[in-house]
């Protein structure tokens, strides 16, 4: 949900330049966290060091968006445009998916509960 909240915050476009890459080992193998410098298009804002949420091009540079005070990284992370734009859609898509699962798996439970309730009411009417 943080991506949805952050979508309403002001964003500044600029260019991220990778200074170095920190390698990490995980379940899926080795991956790289790009650390470098981000400069706004007007040259007034510079963030250093900053982490890139995405991957730079082969020359180590990429267009990135900075959202001051955002919940997803604040002043320490800049986001590539594609990932930043799709975040709210992924968030709401996941929420719809969870709701659909809830309906799918809870419906049989409620049906059984209604049948038991109807049987118990019918039993009380006969014995009265």
Supply angle C-alpha 36, 8, 12, rounded to 5.
35
Mean pLDDT of 27-48: 91
State the SS3 of 11-29: CEEEEEEEEEEEEEEECCE
**Distance separating alpha carbons of residues 25 and 126, to the nearest angstrom:** 69
The stretches of 1-128 forming alpha helices (DSSP H) are: 2-7, 81-127
Q: What is the pTM of this model?
A: 0.57
Q: How confident is the model at residue 1 (pLDDT cuts 50, 70, 90)?
A: very low
- Please name the residue that has the structure tokens 């995405």: 54
- For 95, list phi and psi in degrees, rounded to 5: -65, -40
**Distance separating alpha carbons of residues 95 and 2, to the nearest angstrom:** 13
pLDDT digits 0-9 by tens, 88-113: 677 778 888 888 888 888 888 888 88
Q: How confident is the model at residue 31 (pLDDT cuts 50, 70, 90)?
A: confident
- For 63, list phi and psi in degrees, rounded to 5: -70, 135
Asked if pLDDT for residue 29 goes beyond 90, the answer is: no
Asked if pLDDT for residue 76 goes beyond 80, the answer is: yes
Determine the pLDDT at residue 117.
83
Mean pLDDT of 74-99: 74
């Amino acid at each position: 949900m943080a991506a949805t909240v952050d979508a309403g915050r002001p964003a500044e476009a600029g260019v991220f330049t990778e200074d170095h890459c920190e390698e990490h080992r995980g379940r899926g193998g080795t991956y790289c966290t790009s650390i470098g410098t981000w400069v706004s298009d007007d040259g007034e804002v510079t963030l250093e060091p900053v982490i890139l949420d995405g991957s730079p091009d082969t020359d180590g540079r990429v267009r990135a968006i900075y959202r001051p005070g955002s919940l997803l990284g604040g002043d320490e992370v800049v986001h590539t445009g594609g990932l930043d734009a799709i975040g709210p859609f992924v968030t709401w898509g996941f929420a719809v998916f969870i709701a659909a699962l809830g309906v799918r798996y809870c419906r049989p439970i409620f049906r059984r509960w209604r049948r038991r309730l109807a049987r118990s009411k019918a039993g009380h009417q006969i014995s009265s």
